[in-house]
Amino acid sequence: MPETVFEFGYGSSKIKVGLSEEKIINNVLGKPCPAIVDVPAAVREALRNPIGTPPLKEVVKSGDRVAVVVSDITRAWVKFDQFLPVLLDELNEAGIPDQNIFIIIAPGAHRLNTKEEFIVLCGEKVCQRVAVYNHECHNQDELVYTGKTKSGVECYINKRVAEADKVILTGGIVHHLMAGFGGGRKAILPGISGFKTIQGNHLFCMNKEVGKGLNPNCISGKLDGNEMNEDMIEQAALAKPDFLLNAVFTPENKFAKFVAGHWYEAWLAGTKMVDEIYGIPINAQADLVVSSAGGFPKDINLYQGVKTIDNAYMAAKPGGAAICFMELPDIMEPAEFSDWFKYPTMLEHEMALRENFTIPGFLAYRLLDIARQLSLIIVTKKENTEFIRKAGMIPAATTEEALAIAQEKLGREDYTITVMTTAANTVPVLK
């Protein structure tokens, strides 16, 4: 039977796997997309020909105090340092000197960033030009009330931002396994919101009925009917941002496009492009999905690996199997994720999550939930075996062992296969 050989990223190396051509029904890859050659020119073009607003130079006026919201170090892949200088120059040309501009780092409920990380994120020259501050979601003295959403979430945001004359949101747009898409309104919530506000919003990820686990509407690529997203949009509207600059990326993580203008309309246009590149149509779900995150750093730990597993799950038939190649050298990191696997039952885990919702807790629950529905086989380092089992999955040391386990679980040899070599980034969309 003819085979096709695929390369799956595993840490800094590759694992070659031969799979039967007859069984393969989908090969899920990000669509080729040209990278921007002249980044500064593309940023200026977006700022001067925005979506849904006048050009940036007409939105601001001389004398304005301008806040620029920038994601935290976990979003360093957005490469803010490459486009923030252009944004500052454009503001300067509009009559806003550097001393009237400040950057607020938006970590949501993540830890505060260090001054060294400010430089990594924004670039050394930008940090020399303008003041850079951390947002502190737990510091009530640094928060102001903006209103209440229709679902009853009370909204508090960063005081510096609220008191600025103009607010510009920045970020990168990708699929997000809870909010549908990242970027846009996420700069406000969770970015610069108070902790209780973040908690109130994130609880929409739980099913309305206690005991039923997760909300099926809060998934990757879904915006309409996604209660978490809809509440985020309401909260962003209450904050009244004046402008947005977001980036879309190629599968090689180079800039594909900059969208600028109205905080919602420009972002929405960006999400459609993300779907075009990474929302990959599949003909049918397969019995077996063979996948990898794409290698380091996306398989550095299981916390990062959940997105890969979630996307592989979307391509698999209910009751099917998935093989994921992930080295996981730091499998126990971060502790706030690995500690969530201590609950003896899913119900106890759910109740703890409802009591004190955290993203690591949610991701741990999501992983356990998927492992209940699929035979989830992880090809990884031998020392990870115990924790993989603790997390409800099946460890395997080699490709051959993983394929043998999958066939045993499926109970037959005539199974179908979907291949996902870059599963961390590609979202399968059933036609």
Q: What domains does the chain contain, in order, with CATH numbers?
A: 3-30+283-430 (3.90.226.30), 39-277 (3.40.50.11440)
| % of the chain beyond a pLDDT of 90 | 90
Distance between CA atoms of residues 171 and 95, nearest Å = 24
Q: Name the average pLDDT for the chain.
A: 95
Count the Cβ atoms, other than its own, within 10 Å of residue 240.
11
| Residue 431 pLDDT exceeds 80 | no
CA distance 302 to 421: 17
pLDDT digits (tens, 9 = 90+) for 53-84: 999 999 999 999 999 999 998 788 899 999 99
User: pLDDT for 301-345, tens place per residue?
Assistant: 999 899 999 999 999 999 999 999 999 999 998 899 999 999 999
Which residues, at least 6 apart from 326, have a Cβ–Cβ distance to it below 8 Å?
Answer: 10, 292, 293, 299, 302, 305, 308, 378, 379, 380
In this structure, are residues 15 and 8 in contact, taking their beta carbons and an 8 Å threshold?
Answer: yes
Would you state the pLDDT for residue 53?
Answer: 98
- The answer to whether the beta carbons of residues 431 and 281 sit under 8 Å apart is yes
Is 0.85 topped by the overall pTM? Answer: yes
